[in-house]
Chains A and B, each alone.
Chain A
C-alpha cells in the first residue's frame, strides 16, 4: 500500500516536472529569441541615429576637421554606455570624394546600396548602414562589428533571460509541494486504513468534509465492507466460543468418567463410569458430525448434489425413521393436501432438516402430545411445517434460537444447540429459509421453505 501510494506521488511529480520543464523551455526559447531581435533592432537604430546625426552635422557645419572630434564625442556619449566601441563611419561626397573616415572603419568603398547590410571583412562580421543625401550629394556609412551586436544581446540576455534560470529550481520545488499537498488526503486515508486492527475492524470514521469528493464514495464502500467484516468476525467468534464450550463439555465428562473408572474398585461402578464415558463420546461424535455438516453447507463450499424428489414421500419416510428411533409418548401426524410435491433437492440434507425439526418438536412436546407435520406448496416454494403442542417460544427468542449453540432456557441437556442452525442453513442452500412462529392454540410452528426448482407439482 505504501509503495503504491509513493508511486502515485512519483508519477504525478514526473508528469508535473515534464510539463513545467516544457513550459520553461518554451518561455526561455521565446525570451532568447525576443532578446536577440531586440538587440539587433537596438543596434540598427543606433546606426541609423548615428548616420543621420553625422549627415546633419556635415550639412550644417562643413568643417570636416572638427567633425570627427564632435562625432566621436557625441557618438561615444551616445553609445559608450552599452557599447565600449563607437561605430566606425565614412562620409563621402559625390563632388570631393571622401570627407572623413574613422580609423576603425573597414574598407567598404564598393558598398553603395543604401540601407542595412551585413558584411564580412578581415574575419569580422560587420553591420553597415548606408544613407545618402541626394540634395547635398553626400553618402554616410556607419558600421559596427557583430561583436557589438552580441554584446548588446548579452546585456539584454543578462537582464531578461537569466532570471528564467532561477525559475527552474522554483518550478521543481513547487511541483514537489503541490504533489505532496494535493495527495495529503490520500496519505491520511492510507494511514487510517493502516491503523485498522484486522482482528477488530471498525469503520474508518474520517471527517467527510476533509475527504475529497472522488474518494468519498470509495471510503463509504470501504466503511460498509469493514462493518460487514466486523459482523462476520463477531459471529465467527461467538461460534468459536460456543463450539469450544460444546466440544469441551463432553470431553471433560468423558475424561472425568474415565478417571472414575480407573479408580473404581467396584466393577459395577466402573462399568457405569465407562458407559457414561461412552455416552459422552457419542454426544461428541454427533456434535462433530453436526459441525462438519455446517462446514460443508458453507455457501462458499462446492455445489451440492441435487435430485428430483417427492417431498411428501420423503417426509413420510423420515417420519417412519423418526418413529423407529424410538420417541414414545408423542404421536406424529402428516397432513398434506398434495399427493406429491416434486422438488430439486439433496435428499440426505432434507432428511436431516426434517429430523432436526421433529427432534425439536419432540423435546418441546408435553407427554401424549401430537406433532403435526404439514407439507404444502406456496407459489414456487414448497413449505414444510412442524407444529408441536409445547409451551411456545417467546417472541424475543424466536430468531436467536437459530444461532449456533443457542440453547433456550429450560432445555438443560437437550442436543448440541446446532439443530436449528443446521435447519436454516439447509433451507437456505435450497433457496428457502426457516423461521419459527406461534402455532394457533399454543405451541410452536417451525416452518422451512424450499425452492421448488425447475420441476413443479404433479
Chain B
C-alpha cells in the first residue's frame, strides 16, 4: 500500500515510516499541517496516518479540509490528546480509525490493512482472482493453490492489481505506490518488475493494456 504519514515528531515519524516500510508499504512522510492539507490532491494514497498536533494546521483542521474537499482516503488518527479529542469527535470529523500514542506498530499495520480492504469493499485480508490468491496479513501468495515467493515490490504490484480485479490499473498509479515521492524508479526497472511478476504467477495472467496499464485476467478466457 502507499501510505501518507503526517507526524511532526521526527523520531516518531521516522519510526512509523521505517516500521511501515518493513511491512512492505510505500511511505511518504510530511511534517507540516499546511503541506499535508494539499497532499491528497492528485495523489493516490491507500491510507493516511495523521497526527493531531501539527505545526501550521492541527490534524483536525487537515482532516476537515480533506473531507470538505471530498477526499475519501481512509485516515487513521494518532492522538495523545484523549481528553481533548474524544473518539466520537474524531470519528465524526471523518477519521476512519484512531490510535492513542504510544502506538504499537503491528496494531497500526493491522488497522491500516483493515481500512484498505474496507475501502475496496473486501471483508477479509484475502484477495483472489483468476486462480491467484493473496493474503495481506501474512503477505503470502498462492497460484492455483501453490505458494509462490514474491519480493516486496512484486507483492505490492500484484496487491494493487487484485484490489480491483479485472480493471485496468495505470502504470503511474502502480509506480507511485511502489516508490512514493522520494525514490524515483530507474528507467526500465518497472518493466523488469512486471516481467519477474509474470514469471511467478504465469505470464498470461497479467495483461498489458497498451497506453492504459495492466490488469489481471484469466489468460485462457480472453
Contact = CB atoms under 8 A, between A and B. Distances in A.
A284 B41 CA distance: 36
A252 B56 CA distance: 22
A174 B12 CA distance: 76
Interface in A246-260: 248-257, 259-260
A249 B104 contact: no
A257 B11 contact: yes
Contacts of A255: 15, 102-104
Contact of B102 (A251, A264, A269): A251
Contact of A260 (B19, B32, B53): B19
Interface size class of A (residues with CB under 8 A): 20 to 34
B101 interface: yes
A256 B15 contact: yes
Interface residues of B, number: 27
Nearest to B108: A256
A245 B19 contact: no
A254 B9 CA distance: 11
Contact of A241 (B8, B83, B103): B83
Interface stretch (A162-170, A225-233, A298-306, A404-412): A404-412
Contacts of B143: none
Contact of A256 (B31, B81, B105): B105
B19 A259 contact: yes
A279 interface: yes
Interface in B107-149: none
B22 A263 contact: yes
B105 to A, nearest CB: 5
B80 A273 contact: no
A199 interface: no
Nearest to B23: A263
B8 A412 contact: yes
Max chain A Cβ within 10 angstroms of own Cβ: one of B19, B83, B106? B19
Nearest to A254: B11
Contacts of B11: 250, 253-254, 257, 276-277, 279-280, 283
A273 B15 CA distance: 7
A126 to B, nearest CB: 100
B105 A260 contact: yes
B12 A252 contact: yes
A325 interface: no
A251 B78 CA distance: 14
Nearest to B10: A413
Contact of B9 (A249, A272, A277): A249
B170 interface: no
B172 interface: no
B80 A245 contact: yes
A244 interface: yes
B55 to A, nearest CB: 4
A250 B80 CA distance: 11
Nearest to A237: B83
A410 B33 CA distance: 10
10 contacts: A241-B84, A249-B9, A249-B12, A253-B9, A255-B104, A256-B102, A272-B18, A410-B55, A411-B55, A412-B32
Given A253-B14, A412-B32, 9 more contacts: A252-B78, A252-B80, A252-B102, A254-B11, A256-B12, A259-B105, A259-B106, A280-B11, A412-B31
Interface of A: 241, 244-245, 248-257, 259-260, 263-264, 269, 272-273, 276-277, 279-280, 283, 407, 409-413
Interface of B: 8-12, 14-16, 18-19, 22, 31-32, 53, 55-56, 78, 80-81, 83-84, 101-106
* 7 tightest A-B CB contacts, nearest first: A256-B15, A253-B11, A253-B12, A252-B102, A252-B101, A257-B15, A248-B80
